Amino acid sequence: MSDKVAVLGAGVTLFERRATRRLDEMASEAVSLALRDAGLSYGDIEVAFVANAYRSGSAPIVFYKLSRTGIPITHIDIACASGTRSIQLAGHLIASGAYQTCLVVGVEIMPGGMVPWPIDPETVSLYHEMMFDTVTGLLTMPGAYAYKAVRYMHDFGATPEQFAQVAVKNHRNSCLNPNAMYRKEFSIEDVLGSRMICYPLTLFQCCANSNGAAAVVLSSETRARRHTSRPVLLSGWGETSMRFDPVDPVESHLSEGDTVAAAAGAYEMSGTGPGDADLAQVHDAFSAAEVLQIEALGLCGKGEGAAFTAAGETEIGGSVPVNTDGGLMGCGHPVGASGCRMVAEVFRQLKGQAGARQVEGARLGLVQNSGLGASNVLVLER
């Protein structure tokens, strides 16, 4: 048998710069919030995933105190995309009829400072290639998007000011989200005047590490209809990982082709298109990333994303609001939790429960979440 997949509840903790609670405590809080939101108890959950990048053994750690009901628990890690990958896997399990209810909790306590590479020379041969790129100054996280931004400015005449507008918007949106880490407004002068990290990206155009958890409860549509007459459906999703294009090196290094492919899958599965989207949550690890991702999703034409953003089209109240909860830029980025936080925000918007940041009449929302060459795209509808 097969069934449609519903999102039944979601919960997000405060994202904080310094963790005041421990991994299992934050996960428990997010799970409790999500279960209460769904109207379920832990005993109703048939299968569960933990999305987390920095703590091996997360599944037993997170669930030991929560409950030991004997259900299959699994740790999923594809870096920053772990949360949405877990939700997609839950979707496959429910759509197949194998399970009726699934819990996904993303949680992270980030290591301090710059994100370390989780590899060492004794066990990983790739270490030597990565260390060469690292010590010769080639490998930086902001640099990866700075390259795309520079080429984009060259090809389409975009300006650093247009990219900076993403940071202004997302920080402003975070002021409307009590769970966001920053909740502080920055002017375009503040953003452009902050320290240059990798040209053209300044400090305030780079997301910061944070600590927190977010949980999502999924179920079959049949099961969801026992709780609500108008469930939020996870109607489509697409998933990719790093791809080497033998014909086009540009595609391999410098494009958002992974998102284009994931979006095509999500739109086909849901029978929708970019024109149906009322809002989107995208992976704004760096300001330029948001511009490129909204184009890859088809929310505007290629080369138009920077001007589209600068014109206010992605503001709350614009034609397609993007990162209404502040995104990675405003919320901070607890790697394993971010994908679940994105899905939780779209769920909240479609339920009409987003408070001061509510997008009026939102019926269809997109999520795009990147992680080490992977891109996941999800369509939620109500």
Minimum distance of other proteins from residue 77's CB (angstroms): 23
Residue in 238, 224, 239 with CA at minimum distance from that of residue 351: 224
132 binds other proteins (CB under 8 A): yes
Q: Of these, 20, 226, 244, 268, which contacts other proteins (CB under 8 A)?
A: 244
Measured from the CB atom, is 136 or 229 closer to other proteins? 136
175 binds other proteins (CB under 8 A): no
Residue in 339, 333, 85, 105 with CA at minimum distance from that of residue 215: 105
Minimum distance of other proteins from residue 198's CB (angstroms): 5
- Where does residue 207 fall: left (phi above 0), alpha (psi -120 to 50 degrees), or beta otherwise? beta
Per-residue binding string, other proteins, 60-99, x by CB under 8 A, is: ----------------------------------------
Sequence-distant (≥ 6) Cβ neighbours of residue 157 within 8 angstroms: none
Residue 80 annotated to the active site? yes
Residue 207 annotated to the active site? no
135 binds other proteins (CB under 8 A): yes
133 binds other proteins (CB under 8 A): yes
Measured from the CB atom, is 22 or 128 closer to other proteins? 128
Identify which range of 77-85, 142-150, 221-229, 255-263 contacts other proteins by CB under 8 A.
142-150
113 binds other proteins (CB under 8 A): no
Strands (E), the chain: 5-12, 47-51, 73-76, 101-108, 196-198, 201-202, 212-220, 232-240, 279-281, 364-371, 374-381
Contact at 8 Å (CB) between 270 and 88? no
Q: Of these, 55, 75, 85, 148, which contacts other proteins (CB under 8 A)?
A: 148
Minimum distance of other proteins from residue 129's CB (angstroms): 7
Separation of alpha carbons 277 and 362, rounded Å: 8
How buried is residue 200: exposed, middle or buried, by Cβ count under 10 Å (0-12/13-18/19+)?
Answer: buried
Backbone φ, ψ for residue 5 (5° rounding):
-110, 130
Minimum distance of other proteins from residue 296's CB (angstroms): 17
Q: Which residues belong to the active site?
A: 80, 333
Sites of contact with other proteins (CB under 8 A) = 114, 128-129, 131-143, 146-148, 150-151, 154, 195-199, 203, 206, 244-246, 249-250, 252-254
